[in-house]
Chain A
Amino acid sequence: MRTLNHLMQADRTMRSIAYVPFADNSKRFELRSATTVMEIIISLFLLATLAVLSGQIIASVVQTRIEQRKRAWALQEAGNAMEKAFLVPWAELEPGQRREWPCSEAAKRILKDARTTILTEATDDNNVRRLVVRVEWSPGRGQTTQQIQLVAFRHHPQRSEKVAVATQMLGNDAGASGNAE
């Protein structure tokens, strides 16, 4: 009996065993297993890990949605700016020139601190200009500025006439070409 009592004592210390005497105050007692501090810590740690993971997934989904929306608007803004760049007379397209273009009101609502710039670059062919439209915006919260870039080549009108004649002979069609980066 003494040995058993010692064992119970040790077990109680180890596993927080509840010692509940019976109502008749007899020497009999009930042995019930409970949760150790270690088990609680582990379960709390697992719960916290799950909560953090869920939070990260939700935040990532929201962030992706916002980014996707912003990029779609920025690309649209760049496309419109490129169209406007094709309205600028050829004589005004000086290589190395950088123009600031006002952003549309709709894009301003979506893109924080939006800035549209059009850069005119020279190419190997003097009759061709490389037009680079860049839309930059601030994603906020101290992140680096986001940007998208659209590039197109504009040909000199006289050169284009020659291209037109050549393509008519070949039975093809030609015009401005562009690509997104």
Chain B
Amino acid sequence: MTCRRRGYTLIEMVVVAVLSALVLGTAVAATALVVGMSGIVSREVDSYHDLARLATVFRNDAHQATKFTTANIEATVGSTADGTIISEMELSDGKSVRYRVNDGLIREVLQDGKLVARDGFDLDHGQRVLVKTYKENSQTVASLIVFGSRILDRGDEAASQQQTWEVYTVVGRDRVLLNR
């Protein structure tokens, strides 16, 4: 009489369990890594996109500025509720523009003292912004400096202190070119 039974030995079960745990663990770790990374990547992409947009807008404003003033202070994002005005400009078309730091960087366009447009640039809490002016080749140049982010620098405090995004621009460039 022959008895046919299908089953697994204890060793086989242990090996299968270990291999399954290994494969599952690796898969979960890889998924978490990819998901986490894609989150960081999208935040970084958004951040650089905003910085590039800020550079374009700031340069356009500075090029048209007939009067440029700066508070010359480092304003920290998220430190004050109503915000700190870091720079104001009077444009050739009669409008004026001011840059305010509160939960991000806000650009406000005013005409006859009334707010006509507002634009926002997303910055991380703790990032610092500074606008400074100086003379170069007898021209006024302005630099908008955004100090690095701890999020982008993976928590590296030293790197976030040093690494800066600088927008260098000639104040009144278009006006100077037209009137020279």
Contact = CB atoms under 8 A, between A and B. Distances in A.
B96 interface: no
Contact of B6 (A32, A62, A173): A32
Closest 10 CB pairs of A and B: A175-B174, A164-B178, A72-B48, A80-B168, A157-B180, A87-B137, A31-B4, A65-B41, A160-B177, A54-B30
B38 interface: yes
Contacts of A127: none
Contact of A155 (B34, B38, B177): B177
Interface residues of A, number: 43
Nearest to B138: A87
Interface stretch (B71-79, B123-131, B159-167): B159-167
B37 A76 contact: no
Given A28-B3, A68-B45, A86-B170, A76 B52 contact: yes
Contacts of B164: 106
Contacts of B177: 155, 157, 160, 175-176
B44 A174 contact: no
Interface string A76-114: 100110011011110000000000000010100100000
User: Which of the four size classes fits the interface of chain B?
Assistant: 35 or more
Given A72-B51, A161-B178, A89 B165 contact: no
B79 to A, nearest CB: 23
A181 interface: no
A89 B3 CA distance: 100
Given A72-B51, A87-B139, 18 more contacts: A29-B2, A32-B7, A51-B26, A61-B34, A65-B44, A79-B59, A83-B168, A83-B169, A87-B136, A106-B162, A106-B163, A160-B180, A161-B179, A161-B180, A173-B93, A175-B63, A175-B173, A175-B178
B158 to A, nearest CB: 12
A61 B55 contact: no
Contact of B37 (A22, A58, A72, A106): A58
A31 B164 CA distance: 72
A91 B121 CA distance: 39
A122 interface: no
B109 interface: no
B21 interface: no
A47 B30 CA distance: 14
B17 interface: no
A7 to B, nearest CB: 12
Contacts of A64: 41
A58 B34 contact: yes
Contacts of A109: 162-163
